[in-house]
A and B are shown apart, each in its own frame.
Chain A
Amino acid sequence: MKKVYVNEDWCLACHLCEFYCAAANSGAPDMVKAFKSGKKPVPRIQVEEGSDVNFAVQCRHCDGKACVKGCITGALSIKDGVVVCDESRCVGCYTCVLSCPFGCIVIDEEGHRIQKCDLCTKNHDGEPACVQGCPNKAIVFEER
């Protein structure tokens, strides 16, 4: 299964991936509208910056032992290998936020529910928005 992988050697900490992710999942038709109409959308990918090494982290789509098992309402599940969230069932208990060992689950802009990377399966066809927006191939979408 294709997943997003990190090439930390090439990450510039430009944060573009965050903006492309936030815009792609906002439902707005373009970046300007996504950020200029009301609340700023929150990205599902986050760049960790160090002095020499930077990298972008989003859901690893692991076996879900922590977040899926811990979810009290069954909002999180694994569909075709992708860990997805059914937002209509999320009650905002944040159990998953606390339990994800990679810190990949974030709270949405309203502050009532979680949101997480679904590999752009709901908003996009083709390559995930973050990978498309990265100027230096520091994140790639591939089979490994």
Chain B
Amino acid sequence: MAIEFMNPLFEVIRDSDRCIKCRVCERQCANEVHKYDADLDKMISNEMTCVDCQRCVCLCPTHALKIRPNENQFRENANWTHQTMDEVYKQAGSGGVLLSAMGNPKDLPVYWDRILLNASQVTNPPIDPLREPMETKTFLGKKNQGITYDENGKAHYDKTPYLELDVPIMFSAMSFGSISKNAHESLARAATELGTFYNTGEGGLHRDFYKYGANTICQVASGRFGVFKGYLDAGAAIEIKMGQGAKPGIGGHLPGMKINDEISRTRMIPKGTDAISPAPHHDIYSIEDLRQLVISLKEATNWEKPIIVKIAAVHNVAAIASGVARSGADIIAIDGFRGGTGAAPTRIRDNVGIPIELALAAVDSRLRDEGIRNDVSVVVGGSVRSAADVVKAIALGADAVYIATSALLAMGCHLCRSCNTGKCNWGIATQRADLVKRLNPDIAAERLVNLVTAWDHEIKEMMGGMGINSIEALRGNRLMLRGVGLTQKELDILGIQHAGE
């Protein structure tokens, strides 16, 4: 046997005083880490395959388990870190591109944490959300400017399609294929109950979920999987995916082994074939081309649905967004570089794109400067982790946010970042029937509703503190924000002042 150069990443610590040998950990670990040894009458572990998903820890009835980083370390080296060396070993062993899942885990600046919110004192009293009305409803789409009145004083305006959100939070695109059917159902049911929207991702819409159409955003991506008239008609809006924050400039690849009967039917591709989304849309090479697709989709759906164009936050995002705003799209979604993914080349995930906070501020300012901010709504995603992030995003200029990682966490994900292995122990990023079963939508939908409801309460509390009683009044209200520990350049891009100013 060849020498294994890498060590296990984690250690399984089992407290034998507590372990009752129930074998629950063994049954629940799809990576086959735990095993009962009848001769020794003992549970033993093979840590090599442990991904630290915490499934066994959460289910062990006696709390006998701990998963810890492996204490065995290579000789310390600030340049050649353990991880860097492991990656070299891995590639020397496989000869392949490194793959990763979920968002960029690198220690790069999180601007949300460097921005502080204001609160009212003395002269402009705060509002108590429990006693006074507070509005978190919002609308996405073009904001019509031109209202005219006829001789009878009746108002006339062009009504363009829009989305009505009871909370300024939507679930962003995750395809059926990258996540399980039960995960999709949980998102669909939660969005319906919350009065918001979930997004099909590029994998089409399973026939069982057409009934949630009023709360569904149907995505059209470069692979055009599962796109047909019925699909376009099914949702409340259509999203054209140009890019994704976790892997800007890269397409997608769902391996053939995951294309089972259901997925093949939903994506409209043969069973067992790789589902490859090209990096570009092969019919879009300019804003004019994008406009054609926007118009075609509007035409196909009788001009009844708003069109979202989703782009990744990259260097020229403001100019790109300006172009998108002129393409006829109703909503621009921008996805930051910390956004999640089911699988991306590690180097792309960790090195391409820019932080969503800067991208949002730049786009909002640019659209305002050009006088076209009201032509589109702006939705941002890419690691919105809490209600505070939502409030800061809206104050920076967003109309609403997209969450996905937080939604997955609500369903049980522990960010082990092994979605690409297809063996998600929580039944989320897998198509293995025995694992998918672990996610009961009755439980997961309720947890999603709880999460967003809790955030909604917190948003109201923070807005109340600032003396603001509606999302409309918070949007783009950068005076409510102050930076800490940021350079003048960063403050300029964010369009905010430093704390104390």
Contacts and interface: CB of A to CB of B under 8 A. Distances in A.
Pairing of A with B? yes
Interface of A: 9-10, 12-16, 19-20, 23, 31-32, 35-36, 52, 133, 135-138
B470 interface: no
A19 B64 CA distance: 15
A23 B433 CA distance: 31
Contact of A19 (B20, B28, B433): B20
A16 B438 contact: no
A35 B443 contact: no
Contact of B440 (A16, A20, A133, A137): A137
Contact of B22 (A15, A135, A137): A15
Range for the number of chain B residues in contact with chain A: 10 to 19
Given A19-B22, A137-B440, A14 B59 contact: yes
A10 B27 contact: no
B457 interface: no
Contacts of A12: 27-28, 434, 437-438
Contacts of A20: 61
Given A10-B437, A20-B61, A36 B24 contact: no
Interface in B433-453: 433-434, 437-438, 440, 442-443
Nearest to A13: B27
Classify the interface of chain B: helix, strand, loop or mixed. Answer: loop
Contacts of A133: 61
A16 B59 contact: yes
A19 B18 CA distance: 14
Given A9-B437, A135-B59, A14 B27 contact: yes
B62 A14 contact: no
B59 A35 contact: no
Given A14-B59, A15-B27, A136 B443 contact: yes
Contacts of A137: 440, 442-443
27 contacts: A9-B437, A10-B437, A12-B434, A14-B27, A15-B23, A16-B59, A16-B61, A19-B20, A19-B22, A19-B24, A19-B61, A23-B61, A31-B62, A32-B17, A32-B18, A32-B20, A32-B62, A35-B22, A52-B433, A133-B61, A135-B59, A136-B438, A136-B440, A136-B443, A137-B442, A137-B443, A138-B440
A23 B442 CA distance: 27
Given A15-B27, A19-B22, A31 B61 contact: yes
A90 B247 CA distance: 68
A31 B20 contact: yes
B438 A35 contact: no
Contacts of B437: 9-10, 12, 136
B433 A36 contact: no
Contacts of A36: 20
Contacts of B433: 52
Nearest 7 A-B pairs (CB), nearest first? A35-B20, A10-B440, A136-B440, A19-B22, A31-B62, A32-B62, A31-B61
B467 to A, nearest CB: 44
A49 to B, nearest CB: 10
A15 B61 CA distance: 11
Interface centre among A13, A14, A36, A133 (most CB of B within 10 A): A14
Nearest to B442: A137
A77 to B, nearest CB: 32
Interface string B419-443: 0000000000000011001101011
Contacts of B62: 31-32
B24 A16 contact: yes
B12 to A, nearest CB: 18
Interface string B1-25: 0000000000000000110101110
Interface centre among A9, A15, A31, A138 (most CB of B within 10 A): A31
Nearest to A137: B440
Nearest to B58: A135
Interface centre among B17, B59, B61, B433 (most CB of A within 10 A): B61
Contacts of B440: 10, 136-138
Contacts of A138: 440
A99 B234 CA distance: 54
A23 B22 CA distance: 12
A112 B24 CA distance: 29
Nearest to B412: A135
Contacts of B438: 12, 136
Interface centre among A9, A32, A138 (most CB of B within 10 A): A32
A12 to B, nearest CB: 6
B24 A15 contact: yes
A44 to B, nearest CB: 16
A29 B270 CA distance: 56
A130 B27 CA distance: 18
Contacts of B443: 136-137
A14 B24 contact: yes
A9 B440 CA distance: 9
Interface string B322-357: 000000000000000000000000000000000000
